[in-house]
Structure 1
Amino acid sequence: MSRVVVVGGGLAGLSAACRLLGAGHQVTVVEREPVPGGRAGVLHRDGFTFDPGPSVLTMRDLIADALRAVGTELDDVLPMRRLDPAYRASFADGSTIRVRAGRDAMRAEIAETCGSVDAAAFDDFVEWLRRLYRVEMPHFIDRNFDSPLGLLSDPVAAARLVRLGGFGRLGPAVRRFFRDPRLHKLFSFQALYAGLSPESALALYAVITYMDSVEGVWYPEGGMHAVPLALAAAIEKAGGELSLGSSVEEVLRRGDGRVAGVALAGGQRIAADAVVCTLDLPVAYRRLLPDLPAPRRLRTARYSPSAVVWHVGAKGRPGPEIGHHNIHFGDEWAGAFRALLEEKTLMPDPSRLVTVPSVSDDSVAPPGSTAMFVLEPVPNLSADLDWRREAGPMRDRLHVFLQQHGYPSEVVAEELVTPADWETQGMEAGTPFALAHTFAQTGPFRPANHDRRVPGMFFAGSATVPGVGVPMVLISGKLAAERVDAYLGAA
């Protein structure tokens, strides 16, 4: 039986571990924190529980598939419910649109807020999203490519994607369906997840809109950290090992360059036939493969903007209008993206996300209190911003913002996370969103999940294929596991 070490117990690593165990390999997951989860960890402050990483869960079937690989059913170990609304969107003119669960409910919401013409267009929009998704997922996302020529291996699928306008731009594609500019924002802001503006993001990234606006947003009981806890428990139940509170210092190699295992910070060595590394790729090369220059794609990579996240525990409860996820769109749109992405300055009129899990889960805050965070997109560390100076004023602006928009604002617990903090956590350029999804960093052009110079070394996570976001990193774990399985099968 082959032995595989997975470096990092985040969602990508746990997904890979499930698949590898299901394929019959011995698996050890090494995680530097005392709990599994990686970026999807947990933060406790004065009786409040915060999700310090991802907060929007879509495509829960990908979690179900990983669990099923080790003989566990999702509903048995990870109860969750679909959020309705998935988002409450507030606009500068004072209006609100809720992203409702289900096509009929969302069409009715659009009819009420934007009119019958846009409501009728919604059905065509959903059908376009579904068709994009059905082409992209099996042919371009959930697939390993050995070279860009792999795009030509299924010319029919590629031609369908071209006909659907997947290589056009997202902003114009959305505008072709809807007249109301609020819907343009609501159905294209997801470009930021890809590190781009709606005007520059490829229309194929409308699949992100499909994932949260059509398939739905879910909330696991106990918060997002419940996801890695469930995966980790299923791994141990299936015979896998978790080494928590352990840090990998070196990837061991044989004389012919093949992977031989890992060395931990305390001196312990774990022999392995293959290693799956989920550290941010530039960090992985610097720390674990210091004798190898990073691949050219990585050395010349363009990184996504970052974000400031202010976790807040406050006295009082929000009003009934406050949702679980609340998007506050600024009046400025093109100029805000230009400032963020081109000028690399703070947005003059920022759009912000406020997530309030305590409206769905009483366990994350003391009685009569609110647990929430507010997120503002900001430039990554390539910008000329000193976060030692900027952090205080940013915190004060966010506090005023919460007061102005009806959120409880008597702060009793808090944690402010800036790009400098993301960098300290091991994220290149101080961004949790990794490489931007430009065309040159998409699909087979994204840094590969293997390195032929180190046979037996594979990668998973947001910096490699297929990209950023909970669904993508779960798939990245699956793709890395497929690489390992093929490598060990051929050995």
Structure 2
Amino acid sequence: MPRPAPIVVIGAGLGGLAAAMRLAGAGREVTVVEARDVPGGCCGTAGLGNYRFDTGPSVLTMPGVLADTFAAAGQDMDRWLPLRRLDPYYRLRYHDGSSLDVVAGEEAMADQVRQVCGPDEAARYLRFRRHLGKMFAAEWPAFIDRDMTRLRSLARPYAMLRLAALGGFRNLDSLVRRHLTDERLIRAHTFQALYVGLPPRAALGIYTVIAHMDTVGGVYFPGDGGMHAIPRAMAGAAEKAGAAVRYGVRAVRVEADGSGVTGVRLDTGEHLPAGHVVMAADLPRAHADGLLPAGSGDWRLRRPHYSPSCLVLHFGLDRRLPRQAHHTLHLGQEWHGTFDALAAGRPQPDPNLLVTYPDSDTAAAPAGHATLTVLEPTANLLGGGDWDRLTPRLTHRLLRRLAGLGYGDLTAAPRLTLDPPAWHRGGHSAGTPFALDHRFGQTAWFRPAGRARRVPGLHFAGMYTAPGVGVPPVLISGRLAAERILEGSR
């Protein structure tokens, strides 16, 4: 049998590395090209003096998906990437001064709810938790962990009816309110709509799957090296399996002829021959920059709807914060008005904040020091805001808010700021690191396809294709790209 043609993966983010690990593990010749000097893509890293920050996701759920990726490359994840489960997963702090820790275990979590919301709500919570489990069991294998970019995958009437009966096609807010009555607990199970770029009243009930992953499945963190340790370990495992990873080189053109892709042209002038190419970078930017060949366009990207963006402040602290949780969500008094402002492209009147304090990542700061990251959701660049004026104004407001929340005066602390223009400079369309939102018209088959039907051998992985945004979905997208290649070798 002739040797299969080589494969080029463009982008060493989580989706591209997941595809490369699986393809190399299957014995295929794989080269990954990455414009940056390190792997990671959206799961990046940045330094400021003696401080190091994760510039991408701070939440890792469903670690089994990651372990399966390592196993496909013939590697044991625990040897490459020890993980620990956070305790608590989150701490939710409310405007009235109350707080709720999201912890492991059904009874332990019910006890938290009982203390904050009362015994009746704790009983309702237990029933709702079981409902979440039923929705997850119906949704994960049928719609998330499979290739929904193929139209025939939608033909699963039993699974669709099951999800509909469970409320999956109601809006998220109304579904949760059918089961819970305490506003604080409702918010604890609907703020996740921000992950898919929509208000709780606009997101489908199927996205309670995220609440299940967060609050029931658990949140994890690498034992050393922060979240950026994940792509570093994945790149190492890919190379161990036989893949070549080339850093500091940029793909400038995917070349194709009448039979499909033929290779990738690099900014060095070099041509890498390939029978398959996996595009695992920002998809609209790849089209706009002429990276992709004629015929590779997708009608689903003609009128894209992007998720909101965020203002992120990374601080270097000259002290540690006793009793601070790894993840703290500060939920403001405003709720629906906050989401309405985001949808309208305006600054939120009373923003909800995610504060990350990676206390266990001791190498991220000098002894006795620490890092702190604060994320405020904002409009993306399509909102029309003047970010030369907005960023200083929102930063000033955020510093005052943090001081009022008990974090002290951080005005003089070393600070790295990432706003929508910075995200755009980093390669993110519309200045958002969260890609397309997950409205119904951009979900499953309606999300950009996983392969270019008119350009054989061209595949896509990452946030822009199904299943969508988030670490587990992006890893799955890489797996699906690899499976398509292995099923239809050329």
- Contact 1:315–1:409 (8 Å) recurs in 2: no
- Contact 2:278–2:458 (8 Å) recurs in 1: yes
Q: Deviations over 1:412-432 (max 9, x none)?
A: 421111111111111111111
Deviation at 1:368, TM superposition (A): 2.2
Q: Cα 1:484–1:131, aligned 2, differ >3 Å: closer, same or farther?
A: same
* Equivalent position to 1:133, from 131, 136, 153: 136
Q: How does 1:74-89 map to 2 (within 5 A)?
A: 74-89=77-92
Q: Which residue of 1 aligns with 2:383?
A: 383
CA–CA distance in 2 between the matches of 1:78 and 1:34? Answer: 21
Q: Which residue of 1 aligns with 2:165?
A: 163
SS of residue in 2 equivalent to 1:38: coil
Deviation at 1:408, TM superposition (A): 4.7
- Contact 1:364–1:371 (8 Å) recurs in 2: yes
Runs of 4+ in 1 over 6 A off after TM superposition: none
Deviation at 1:64, TM superposition (A): 0.3
Q: Which residue of 2 aligns with 1:462?
A: 463
Q: Deviations over 1:8-44 (max 9, x none)?
A: 0010011111111122211111111111111112111
CA–CA distance in 1 between the matches of 2:93 and 2:148? Answer: 41
Q: How does 1:237-256 map to 2 (within 5 A)?
A: 237-254=240-257, 256=258
- Contact 1:308–1:418 (8 Å) recurs in 2: yes
Q: Which residue of 2 aligns with 1:20?
A: 23
Deviation at 1:145, TM superposition (A): 3.6
Q: Which residue of 2 aligns with 1:60?
A: 63
Q: How does 1:135-154 map to 2 (within 5 A)?
A: 135-145=138-148, 147-152=150-155, 154=156
Bigger Cα displacement from structure 2, 380-389 vs 81-90: 380-389
Q: Say whether residues 1:295 and 2:298 are aligned partners.
A: yes
Q: Which residue of 1 aligns with 2:449?
A: 448
Q: How does 1:289-328 map to 2 (within 5 A)?
A: 289=292, 291-292=294-295, 294-320=297-323, 322-328=324-330
CA RMSD of aligned residues (A): 1.4
- Contact 2:296–2:452 (8 Å) recurs in 1: no
Deviation at 1:189, TM superposition (A): 0.3
CA–CA distance in 1 between the matches of 2:409 and 2:296? Answer: 48
Q: Which residue of 2 aligns with 1:174?
A: 176
CA–CA distance in 2 between the matches of 1:449 and 1:215? Answer: 28
Deviation at 1:293, TM superposition (A): 7.1
- Contact 2:101–2:112 (8 Å) recurs in 1: yes
Q: Deviations over 1:433-489 (max 9, x none)?
A: 11110111111111101111211000001011110011110111011111111221x
CA–CA distance in 1 between the matches of 2:133 and 2:308? Answer: 28
CA–CA distance in 2 between the matches of 1:439 and 1:75? Answer: 37
SS of residue in 2 equivalent to 1:44: strand
Q: Any unmatched runs of 5+ in structure 1?
A: none
* Equivalent position to 2:217, from 204, 215, 218: 215
- Contact 2:172–2:207 (8 Å) recurs in 1: yes
Q: Normalising to structure 1: TM-score of the pair? A: 0.96
- Contact 1:319–1:406 (8 Å) recurs in 2: no
What fraction of aligned residue pairs are identical, expressed as a percent? 46
Q: Which residue of 1 aligns with 2:278?
A: 276
Q: Which amino acid aligns with 1:187?
A: H
Q: Which amino acid aligns with 1:459?
A: F
Q: Normalising to structure 2: TM-score of the pair? A: 0.96
SS of residue in 1 equivalent to 2:62: coil
Deviation at 1:257, TM superposition (A): 4.7
Q: Which residue of 2 aligns with 1:361?
A: 361
CA–CA distance in 1 between the matches of 2:52 and 2:42? Answer: 15
Q: Any unmatched runs of 5+ in structure 2?
A: none
Q: Which residue of 2 aligns with 1:110?
A: 113
Q: Which amino acid aligns with 1:394?
A: L
- Contact 1:285–1:292 (8 Å) recurs in 2: no
Q: Which residue of 1 aligns with 2:400?
A: 400
CA–CA distance in 1 between the matches of 2:198 and 2:98? Answer: 26
Deviation at 1:129, TM superposition (A): 1.3
CA–CA distance in 1 between the matches of 2:50 and 2:189? Answer: 36
Deviation at 1:100, TM superposition (A): 0.8
CA–CA distance in 1 between the matches of 2:372 and 2:125? Answer: 31
Deviation at 1:294, TM superposition (A): 3.2
Deviation at 1:149, TM superposition (A): 4.7
Q: Deviations over 1:161-219 (max 9, x none)?
A: 11111111111111122121001111100001011011110000000111111000001
- Contact 2:149–2:450 (8 Å) recurs in 1: no
CA–CA distance in 2 between the matches of 1:268 and 1:290? Answer: 17
Q: Deviations over 1:393-419 (max 9, x none)?
A: 222222222221122544442111111
CA–CA distance in 1 between the matches of 2:236 and 2:87? Answer: 29
- Contact 2:278–2:481 (8 Å) recurs in 1: yes
